Structure 1
Amino acid sequence: MGIHRYRMTALFRWLAAVLFALSLLEGPAPSRAEAAETGRLVEKDGRYVFVESMDPAMRLLLERALKQGTITQEEYNAVIQESEQRAYLLQPSFKVWYDRGFNLSMNDNAFLLKIRGFIQSRFTQRFRNDAWRNPGDAKNYPELLGVFGDYRATRSENAASTFNLRRLRLLFMGHLFNPDLKYLVQLAGETAENAQNPASVQVLDAAVMSTHVPALNLMAGQHKVFFNRAQINNAMTMQFTERALVMDAFTASGLNRRDIGLTIMNDEELYPINYYVGIFNGLGPGFNRIGLFNSEQPTEGCPGGQTGGTPPGCPANQRNLNANFRSDISQLMYVVRLVWNVMGRPGYGEGDMLYSETPQLAIGGGYAYNPAINTATNNGFVGIDLANLNVRRQLATFGNGRQLGWGLLDYSTYAFDLVYKYRGFSLQAEWYWKNINRHQKGAPFLGPTTGTDVLPGTGGVAPGLLGNATGWYVQSGYFIIPRKLQFAARYAWWDPDTNAAGDLVKQVDAAVTYYFSGTYDHQLAIQYTNLFMGTGGYALGRSAPLPSSPVALTTSGNVPLDAVQRNLIENLIRVQYSIFF
């Protein structure tokens, strides 16, 4: 028995010595606090479970040997300590798990990467009245095609059935060095319902955010502009399959929801009043003012490129492509927003998904100033415009097509919003106003100046001046089954030109959405929309002074789109499946 005990003691002493030598090779010895640890907490299936460092079977054998006197207490402690140290040194320096995204994190929490995907597929059935065939829409949402950005009216048959991959997103987010230095990169490969080209991958967001000082957070890069509630909210947390048309028309820049710049804000979760101050390029994602150019005039005061007529005293058929001049490149867009969380924190997600037990109320407002947006060059014929196609196409895409062709414009946009949530009920409303200041105060030249195409007294210029724009919407929803089944309704109203009549846009929406997992991440939505769009008013380059006689209609081929003024009416049904994983 004594010989056996001696051999066991020698064996454990040898094992301890080997482990100690290995620990010296692998790194410094652990502190007393580390050696005292017997395991660690591990997250599994949403629960934290304590896992010992040493295999339970080995620990049982050691404890029995200690109880039987085969080894001493000192030998037992030494082996346990060295075993824990070895397990600590050999464990991976990172962990990978899934929790609403694929997560990769370093053990010291110096780095976190979360990868998420977003797929939104849709079926749309449209029913349009005969006015969509003639005259169609050429004023709010014209199509700009070709190198010259030629205008095309949006026309179609009465019925259309389409499948569409509406949104396809890949997100990379997390933090660097410490949790207060966050980053976000979002890629998109999707198409709008009326897209004419296949989807291509583009960068939507690429921003870094510092939250080291709660009262002074900083976000830099390309990201959504914090201006109005509808603009900040993301597509997955909307109560409807698509934003109302008026929401897109009154973004901060008038061109896009995103821009490149800098935003300073405070922590939304800590303060009852939140502020946002931003400075941006003002031209949408992936673009700045260096990319804009004007084709200078070969002869001072004589625009070139017109296809019909020549301004008095100017050479005929001269081109205006002799120089590309960059102007207003020092201009930036400035945005401010304030939000008062009167009761609770309703956040920006639409609908009361959390089924709030106490009332949640917030009011907010924003102001954006975006100067020197060049909507056209100085061409005599407005439809030919090699410059600023990126800006012009964005204006048309977001419903601000009536502002095309009016030269340099300064936008001053105001927005005021309210949101209320309580026990599954939600109410949200916004009002918008956009002041449009034209640098050239006179009516722009449209051409031609002579001939039978000119209405007496017009002199080849636009018959009216562009006005401002205003609009609003109100929407409400209720969860019939908490966190599962929601009904929502919305009414939106929009006047794109306050100087014109017969151009109002009115929209009514009703939607029902089922949330499979009780979150926004997995849902099926059905939406009905009734859209009324007036075709009145004036749009430069798409409306022209009416020919002076019926003969001119046949000889010139210049049939103005104003010749038939009919209201466009559309009824559509969207069925949309969304998953965010």
Structure 2
Amino acid sequence: MHIESRLQFRYAYPQDQDPITFEDFTDTETHVFEVNRARLKVGGHGFKPWLKYYWEYDVVGGNLLDFRVMVEKWEFFKLKIGQWKTYFTRERVISSGKQQLVDRSIINRPFTVDRQQGMEFYGRLFPERLLDLSYNISVLTGTGRGQSTNDDEHLMYVGRLQWNVFGRELGFSGSDLSMTEAPEGLIAFAGVTNRSPYTRFSTSGGGQLVGFADGEEGQYRVNQLLLETAFKYRGFSWQHESHYKEIHDRILAQTTILKGSYFQAGYFLHQIWSDIPEPLEAAMRYAWYTPEVNVENNLHKELGLGVNWFFAGHRNKLTAEVTWLELQGPTFPVSDEVRVRVQWDISF
């Protein structure tokens, strides 16, 4: 058994949360000091090394986030049951304590599938060969964290197929802390289909995107597609996602289509200039999404620049970030904001 706690202290100005409406840009500017996350984690194995367990508790929110048991006796076929962050997007699956910038991009909110309860089959095929593949197939309740039943007889189905380009599996963490000597990369495709009262999910559970009313049972059929790439080599890291999301309102008989992408890169500058301290990493990210592709001049943008100082890898690091955020809508002028955030993340 391994017991761990993690604390995340954050300062932000003029606000911490990503603005999602025009009114969010006109809110009073404030200095934010907060314990953004406080987690208690317990994991290990019982009876046999391949029978593993893990649970995670959110001390700040008072929520049980993860509880799962994994049967991992064979590399090509594994089984997981319980509740966890669905293996759909790399950005969401990477722990908030192993992110490259202060937090996830603006596309996380509209496109994440987040935590669900259910079961998953996963594994790795043809390891260290040309066609080195990792796969995840999930059958879930589709109603969000803390929900053990779905609202009707239609479950959530998620599939992910990942090609490990160089015959080596790339782990779910940001930054190339190990200065990878042999390149590691992936190209992944994923899809999800679900029918529920919700158009989005988060740590809080099921909810609605802007413009959608609280749903009835089975009101929204949501279909999503994802293309993802990632790469690490000698201090350089890259990750990218492109999303397509279709929301069909079965009561109003109307369909909304969302699209979005993010591109992120980081580099330990000591690799090219020895006078720069080894623990310092520079990173940048560009992200965009449109909440309705059929509406012109309807776009959210993000451009972020940040630096990390690693005292002990991701277990003890300081991150500073400057982000430019812009919201363009069809019925109001372009609004933008420059945000500054500093964060200390430490695990014991």
TM-score by length of 1: 0.54
Partner of residue 184, structure 2: 360
1:402 paired to 2:224: no
Q: 1:513 to 1:269 in 2, by over 3 A?
A: farther
Separation (CA, whole Å) in 2 of partners of 1:288 and 1:432:
28
1:534 paired to 2:328: yes
Q: 1:513 to 1:422 in 2, by over 3 A?
A: same
Query: What is the deviation of 1:189?
Result: 2.1
Query: What is the deviation of 1:374?
Result: 5.3
RMSD: 2.6
1:426 paired to 2:287: no
How many residues align? The count is: 332
Separation (CA, whole Å) in 2 of partners of 1:405 and 1:499:
23
Partner of residue 225, structure 1: 86
Tell me which of 113, 138, 141 is aligned to 1:278: 138
SS at match of 1:245: coil
Partner of residue 524, structure 1: 318
Contact 1:182–1:210 (CA under 8 A) maintained in structure 2:
yes
Of Structure 1 and Structure 2, the greater helix share is in: 1
Contact 1:220–1:262 (CA under 8 A) maintained in structure 2:
yes
Match for 2:259: what amino acid? T
Q: Unaligned 5+ residue runs, structure 2?
A: 272-277
Query: What is the deviation of 1:493?
Result: 0.7
Contact 1:115–1:170 (CA under 8 A) maintained in structure 2:
yes
1:437 paired to 2:297: no
Partner of residue 576, structure 1: 343
Query: What is the deviation of 1:535?
Result: 3.7
Contact 1:521–1:578 (CA under 8 A) maintained in structure 2:
yes
Tell me which of 66, 89, 98 is aligned to 1:237: 98
Q: 1:242 to 1:203 in 2, by over 3 A?
A: same
Separation (CA, whole Å) in 2 of partners of 1:365 and 1:186:
28
Query: What is the deviation of 1:347?
Result: 1.8
1:264 paired to 2:121: yes
Structure label with greater radius of gyration: 1
Query: What is the deviation of 1:335?
Result: 0.3
Q: Superposition pairs for residues 65-84 of structure 1, below 5 Å?
A: none
Identical aligned residues as a percent: 27
Contact 1:127–1:570 (CA under 8 A) maintained in structure 2:
no
Separation (CA, whole Å) in 2 of partners of 1:439 and 1:210:
38
Q: 1:525 to 1:215 in 2, by over 3 A?
A: same
Q: 1:576 to 1:392 in 2, by over 3 A?
A: closer
Q: 1:203 to 1:268 in 2, by over 3 A?
A: farther
Q: Deviations over 1:8-34 (max 9, x none)?
A: xxxxxxxxxxxxxxxxxxxxxxxxxxx
Query: What is the deviation of 1:520?
Result: 1.2
TM-score by length of 2: 0.88
Separation (CA, whole Å) in 1 of partners of 2:44 and 2:242:
35
Query: What is the deviation of 1:438?
Result: 2.2
Partner of residue 275, structure 2: none
SS at match of 1:219: strand
Query: What is the deviation of 1:160?
Result: 1.4
Partner of residue 88, structure 1: none
Match for 1:395: what amino acid? G
Partner of residue 498, structure 1: 293
Contact 1:228–1:365 (CA under 8 A) maintained in structure 2:
no
Query: What is the deviation of 1:236?
Result: 1.4
Separation (CA, whole Å) in 1 of partners of 2:76 and 2:206:
35
SS at match of 1:487: strand
Partner of residue 207, structure 1: 68
Q: 1:273 to 1:493 in 2, by over 3 A?
A: same
Partner of residue 120, structure 1: 8
Q: Superposition pairs for residues 102-121 of structure 1, below 5 Å?
A: 113-121=1-9
Q: Deviations over 1:196-224 (max 9, x none)?
A: xxxx3110001000112322111100111
Contact 1:403–1:466 (CA under 8 A) maintained in structure 2:
no
Match for 1:362: what amino acid? L
Match for 1:282: what amino acid? G
Separation (CA, whole Å) in 1 of partners of 2:6 and 2:107:
25
